[in-house]
Amino acid sequence: MKYIILFLLVAFSIDLSAQQKQFSKDDNGKFIYYKVVDSQLLSKDTLLQRAKSFVNVVYKKSMKAESITDTSILAKGTMVIDKTILVAGHPSGEISYNFVFEARNGKYRFWLTDFLYIPYQRDRYGNFVATTRIGTPLERNPGKLNAGAWKDVVNSAYNKIDKFGEDFKKYLATNRVEKAKKKTETISTKKW
């Protein structure tokens, strides 16, 4: 009897320690990734310039700026979610999201919301392509049959979004100046 109780206690403690971080929910019940960062060393204009550079240069293939004002940036983007089994991995789907950035002197905030999942499948050429154009909201409650797979999708999406948030904070904290492209001079072999 003692061993059974000890075994259950150990199994329960392992289950509690294995829980992963989850998305928070906003007022409408949608998943949201929301961060407020205190940056006393940087002005509002500097923060906005770096955020524009992040959206338009670093993530230009996967994000598109919708509107830019003097204090905020709104953009839409996509991320590919990978499914990894041991060492080999392949894309299992795509997450589309809305990105909002707002800056004030000494602090800024950003959030990602409106997550839609579009699953991938192999086409006849072996490429992974979207199965549909209509996305499924991540906050959707799956049935019993797909609960495990959906939980993996949500956890993978949170890990990707969290990594995106950390990259964004690092980019805004560092002083990266985009180098202007050097104009190449044409060399004429006729004059010397």
Q: Is residue 8 one of the residues assigned to a domain?
A: no
Residue at 111 is within a domain: yes
- Please give the tally of structural domains in the chain: 1
> What is the rounded average pLDDT of the residues 11-39?
73
User: Cβ atoms within 10 A of the Cβ of 110, count?
Assistant: 22
Specify if 161 maps to a domain.
yes
Q: Is residue 156 part of a domain?
A: yes
Predicted confidence at residue 18, as pLDDT, reads: 47
**Domain span holding position 109:** 20-172
Helix, strand, coil percentages (3-state) for the chain, rounded to 5, are: 30, 35, 35
Does 14 reside within a domain?
no
186 found inside a domain: no
Tell me whether residue 95 is in a domain.
yes
Q: pLDDT tens digits for 122-181?
A: 888 888 888 888 888 888 887 787 888 888 888 888 998 999 999 998 988 887 655 545
80-132 confidence digits (pLDDT tens): 888 766 666 778 889 999 999 998 888 899 999 999 999 888 888 888 888 88
- CB-based burial label for 155 (10 Å; 0-12, 13-18, 19+): middle
CA atoms in the 13 A half-sphere facing the CB of 17? 6
Q: Identify the bridge partners of residue 24 per DSSP, sorted by sequence position.
A: 32
In a domain? residue 73: yes
CATH of the domain at 82: 3.30.530.80
- Do residues 64 and 75 touch, judged by C-beta distance below 8 A? yes
